[in-house]
Amino acid sequence: MDGVAERRWGLVGFGIIGGMKHLLPAPRHAATGSGSAEISPGSAVSGPAPLADAVRLALPVLDLGPGDAAVAAVRVEEDPRLGPEAYAMTIAGDGVNITAGDRAGAFYAGQTLRQLLPAEAFRSALAPGTSWTLPCGRVEDAPGFSWRGAHVDVARNFLPKREVLRMIDLMALHKLNRLHLHLADDQGWRVESRAFPLLHEVGSHRPRTITSRKGEELAFDGVPHGGYYTLADLTEIAAYARARAVTVVPEIDVPGHACAVLAAYPALASRPQERYKVLDRWGISPAILSPLPATVDFLTTVFGEIADALGDVPYFHIGGDECVLDDWAASAEISAYQASLGLESTGDLHAWFLRRLADALAERGSRTVVWDEAFVSGRLRPDTIVMPWRGEHVARRAAAAGHDVVATPVFPMYFDYAEAASPEEPAGLGDAITVADVAAFAPAPSEWPEQERARVTGVQFQLWSERIPDGRTLDYRAWPRGCAAAEIAWTGGPAGPEDFFRRLDAHLARLDAFGVDYRPLSGPRPWQRGGTGWRRHRPGAVAVHDVMRHLHELSLSADSTRPSL
Beta 87-92 vs 74-78: how paired, if at all? unpaired
CA–CA dist 23, 203 (Å, integer): 44
392 is catalytic: no
- Asked whether the beta carbons of 142 and 28 are under 8 A apart, the reply is yes
SS3 436: helix
CA–CA dist 424, 524 (Å, integer): 7
Task: Output the CA torsion 479→481→485→486 (10° steps).
Answer: 30
CA–CA dist 442, 392 (Å, integer): 10
Q: Give the closest residue to 443 by CA, choosing from 475, 486, 472, 401.
A: 486
Q: Give the closest residue to 289 by CA, choosing from 342, 327, 318, 317.
A: 327
Q: What is the DSSP letter of 431?
A: B
Residue 281: strand pairing partners? none
Q: What is the CA radius of gyration of the chain?
A: 24
235-264 burial: b if 16+ Cβ within 10 Å, else e: ebbbebbbebbbbbbbbbbbbbbbbbbbbb
CA–CA dist 376, 31 (Å, integer): 47
SS3 1: coil
Which one from 85, 305, 322, 466 is the annotated catalytic residue? 322
SS3 10: helix
Q: Give the closest residue to 416 by CA, choosing from 408, 515, 147, 234.
A: 408
Q: What is the DSSP letter of 291?
A: -
Q: Please give the helix or strand (H or E) that residue 482 lies within, else none.
A: helix 481-491
Helical H segments across 445-480, by residue range: 450-453, 471-478
Q: Give the closest residue to 182 by CA, choosing from 229, 265, 249.
A: 249
SS3 369: strand
Prior bond of 432 cis (ω within 30°): yes
Strand order in the sheet with 95-100: 29-39, 132-141, 87-92, 95-100, 74-78, 44-46, 65-66
Which residues are marked as active site?
Answer: 322
